Amino acid sequence: MSRSAYKGPYVDEKLMQKIEGKKGDSTPTIRTWARASMIAPEMVGFTFGVHNGKTHTDVFVTEDMVGHRLGEFAPTKKFIRHGGKMQKDIDARKKESEIAAAKASKTSGK
């Protein structure tokens, strides 16, 4: 559900104080835990270290990101493939068949 229009966008005050009067190119990464903070036009060009629950992920703000939240660009979960040993065997067989197909097409091409 979106935020009420009369309230205006939520931008963390401490975050705005940190970037106030500075240029994005010359400042180091600004670390923040405010994932819910909306990206304002004043933030373009800055690099923010957005906390993902474990570490800070560097997010360089561009004009396309204005209006989105900082947390959208710092994923909190890491996708781990399912399958284990069986999946490794399937991948190995698939790779072998691709190599064999490439060799076959190479020899038939000459």
Express each pLDDT in 10-61 by its tens digit.
999 999 999 988 887 788 999 999 999 999 999 999 999 999 999 999 999 9
Reduced to 3 states, what is the DSSP secondary structure of residue 95? helix
Q: Give the residue-averaged pLDDT of 79-90.
A: 79
Q: For residue 33, what are the contacts with CB-CB under 8 A and spacing of at least 6?
A: 51
Residues 62 and 51: their CA atoms lie apart, in Å, by: 19
